[in-house]
Structure 1
């Protein structure tokens, strides 16, 4: 009989069913799954009876370096404490974006020294003629490529022309990698912001008024048509409005290979919270009306939304507070790695009756499948022993001062959540025990994308 490194007992969420059983872990992999308890022998026994053992949650949309003071140690510590076993970090780093092999190799080296949980990396392209870098970045292990139709910064976070988008899509098709987009209509938004500021309309809700739903839907429509002609995989990040999802469903029926995510704030907050909290609740795209929130929930329950992310964007207080008197001056984005999983479990499973198998898909399996992340996303023999264990009966109160992220700002401060993260396990090792981080920087690993060629990284 095998003596496993770790045996975990509890309610196990498999891809299509939930069982009361136990998992045997050997050398960081799932070696056995039993539909009863007490038959497996292990050097370490983790008793999760009464708790929910999910496949390790994967957050596909994280910004560790949009604010360089955050960094990978704080980001992945927040992930571990929040039940997230793998992150995919965005390429729009300050001061330099990850759009060339030197920058990518440098970041991989940093990942291997600093991360607490496993980490994949996005690549991106330069504003002009950037598609030529895709070959090197794909072979170096970028798991997907992020681009934008809105210009946050002409160097770090540029708007990519239609011509270059089509070139990038054609190139990414060769590697079977996803072209993902921040999809907002740059021309319309810039004009609307100018008009509102000229009229003195700088109150919090004006942020949403400067980015009405049409600025999202028109950008997404263009991208789906480009994807149709390129026959390339397209992913739309942070969808904020149900109309966008409805359009995506129509294009899927036409054979377009398009997927979509929404983020936890678009499901749990509305424009009323933007008015209440001001800059703390400012993100791009903006929070929408309550009826739009309910529309997204229906689509999520109907499995029309592929997965949920944080869009973790941590800012210092001063970067938010400069928008107190003019919302357009505040940084956009909020942290979420510490809190997304328990918040979404409570809202989706406890309050809306989502099956835990579906919850596992939208928090883990679908992310791994869409981006081709090897050995992640499922509780199956041969997969990495990554588990998010939730205690569904242990409530806690979110306190922003206790966030592991260096950004101690969240509109969820003071909110009571009727469940909590009991344990976070990465490759069979407990990285968070419900109270403390149990491993140090460098425990997590870089997880390369499916086009990876080992000799491609610069040493």
Structure 2
């Protein structure tokens, strides 16, 4: 009789159904899936009874290094505690964005030494004359390319001019990867912020008022038209408004390959959180009106939004608190990897507004499919044994002071959550036992993108 390294028992959330059963794991992969009464022999058995065994969450939108005080160790430990088994780290690092192969490969080496979960890396391009790095970055293992139509910083987070976007899209199409965009209309926003500052309108909701919905929808419209003519696969990050999804649906009907994500704050908060929490609730694009949030939920439930991400941005009080008297001085972004999965579970499966199967699709399967990450995203034979185990009966309270991230500031502080991550398993190894992270930095692995040509570093398990 075959012996497995691990047997996992519980309510397995598979691609099309939830079944009580057991999973036999060998060499980090799912070797067999059996009924509860099958006899499986293993070195270790984990019986989760009636808890859900989900495929591990894949968070496609994480910023480990926008704040140099963070980095892979705190973020990946937070991710492990939040049921995330793989995340995609964004390329807008300090001091240097990931816009050439040398910087990319240095980051891969650091990842292999420090990660606790598996990580893919985004690439980007410099503001001008950077498109020659696209193919080399793809071959070095970049999972996709992130660009912006809004400028946070001319070097680190630039607005890419239209001619460069077209060039980039044509090259990215050749790699088969996705071109993703932070889509906001820079000219309108910069102008409005200037007006507001001059009038001393610097109250929290001014952040929303200076980034009205048209600043998102107009930027997305332009990018989709570019994608129509170049044929690139396009991804719109952090969609905050339902009209954006209406436009995406219209372009999908014309054959444009466009996908989208929204982030947990756009579903769980609205613009009133800016008044309530101030800089803690400041993110880009901003939180929207309650009826607009309801529109996003409807799109999510109708299957029009492929996936949910965190846009984890680990700003500490030193970056957020300057905005207490002037919202424009606060850094934009919220921490999220530690709380997104349980918060979204509580808001969907626990309330009966989404089935466990639908939840697994937006949190794991679709991220893996959209970004072509092989062997991850679902519970199936041959796939990596990556699981997020959630006990639907446990309630707990979010405590920002205990976050593993550098960022100890969340508008969700003090919120009671129904459903707790009781175990996170990466490639058959428990990385979080419900209380503590149980592996050392360096356990996590670099997961190369689909255009990878096998460079000298990384890809231990691939």
Q: With structure 2 as the length reference, what TM-score do the two structures score?
A: 0.98
Contact 1:136 1:456 in 2 (8 A): no
Contact 2:29 2:383 in 1 (8 A): yes
Name the counterpart of 1:398.
Answer: 398
Find the residue that maps to 2:239 and give its secondary structure.
coil
Name the counterpart of 2:289.
Answer: 289
- Quote the Cα distance in structure 1 between the aligned partners of 2:308 and 2:455: 34
- Quote the Cα distance in structure 2 between the aligned partners of 1:223 and 1:456: 35
Query: CA offset at residue 353 of structure 1?
Result: 2.2
CA deviation digits over 1:379-399, x for unaligned, max 9?
000000000000000110000
CA deviation digits over 1:312-340, x for unaligned, max 9?
00111021000000000000001001100
CA deviation digits over 1:152-197, x for unaligned, max 9?
0000000001111111111111111000000000000000000111
Name the counterpart of 1:132.
Answer: 132
Find the residue that maps to 1:394 and give its secondary structure.
strand
In structure 2, list runs of 5 or more residues that go unmatched. Answer: none
User: Which stretch has the larger CA shift, 449-458 or 66-75?
Assistant: 449-458
Contact 1:148 1:181 in 2 (8 A): yes
Contact 1:308 1:362 in 2 (8 A): yes
CA deviation digits over 1:382-435, x for unaligned, max 9?
000000000000110000011111111100100000110010000000000000
Name the counterpart of 2:386.
Answer: 386
Name the counterpart of 1:263.
Answer: 263
- Quote the Cα distance in structure 2 between the aligned partners of 1:14 and 1:212: 40
Is 1:17 paired with 2:26?
Answer: no
- Quote the Cα distance in structure 2 between the aligned partners of 1:355 and 1:310: 21
Name the counterpart of 1:321.
Answer: 321
Name the counterpart of 2:272.
Answer: 272
Name the counterpart of 2:186.
Answer: 186
Contact 2:280 2:334 in 1 (8 A): yes
- Quote the Cα distance in structure 2 between the aligned partners of 1:456 and 1:210: 47
- Quote the Cα distance in structure 1 between the aligned partners of 2:366 and 2:422: 23
Name the counterpart of 1:33.
Answer: 33
Contact 2:144 2:178 in 1 (8 A): yes
Query: CA offset at residue 455 of structure 1?
Result: 3.2
- Quote the Cα distance in structure 2 between the aligned partners of 1:349 and 1:305: 17
Is 1:62 paired with 2:62?
Answer: yes
Name the counterpart of 1:354.
Answer: 354
Find the residue that maps to 2:156 and give its secondary structure.
coil
Contact 1:9 1:37 in 2 (8 A): no
Contact 1:11 1:18 in 2 (8 A): yes
CA deviation digits over 1:97-120, x for unaligned, max 9?
000011000000000000000000
- Quote the Cα distance in structure 1 between the aligned partners of 2:257 and 2:456: 28
Post-superposition, which runs of at least 4 consecutive aligned residues in structure 1 deviate over 6 A?
Answer: none
Is 1:164 paired with 2:167?
Answer: no
- Quote the Cα distance in structure 2 between the aligned partners of 1:457 and 1:431: 23
C-alpha spacing 1:456/1:185, structure 2 compared with 1 (3 Å):
farther
- Residues 32-51 of structure 1: pairs in structure 2 closer than 5 A: 32-51=32-51
Name the counterpart of 1:450.
Answer: 450
CA deviation digits over 1:327-377, x for unaligned, max 9?
000000010011000100010112252011110010011000011111100
Name the counterpart of 2:100.
Answer: 100
Contact 1:399 1:413 in 2 (8 A): yes
Name the counterpart of 1:421.
Answer: 421
Name the counterpart of 2:111.
Answer: 111
Name the counterpart of 1:219.
Answer: 219
- Quote the Cα distance in structure 2 between the aligned partners of 1:315 and 1:17: 39
Contact 2:141 2:453 in 1 (8 A): yes
- Quote the Cα distance in structure 2 between the aligned partners of 1:420 and 1:259: 29
Find the residue that maps to 1:335 and give its secondary structure.
coil
- Root mean square deviation, CA, Å: 0.9
How many residues are paired up? 458
Name the counterpart of 1:303.
Answer: 303
- Quote the Cα distance in structure 1 between the aligned partners of 2:144 and 2:222: 20
- Residues 209-248 of structure 1: pairs in structure 2 closer than 5 A: 209-248=209-248
Contact 2:81 2:437 in 1 (8 A): yes
- Quote the Cα distance in structure 2 between the aligned partners of 1:215 and 1:162: 16
- Quote the Cα distance in structure 2 between the aligned partners of 1:84 and 1:157: 26
Is 1:123 paired with 2:140?
Answer: no
Contact 2:22 2:33 in 1 (8 A): yes
Find the residue that maps to 2:53 and give its secondary structure.
strand
Query: CA offset at residue 456 of structure 1?
Result: 6.4
Find the residue that maps to 2:348 and give its secondary structure.
helix
Q: With structure 1 as the length reference, what TM-score do the two structures score?
A: 0.99
Find the residue that maps to 2:323 and give its secondary structure.
coil
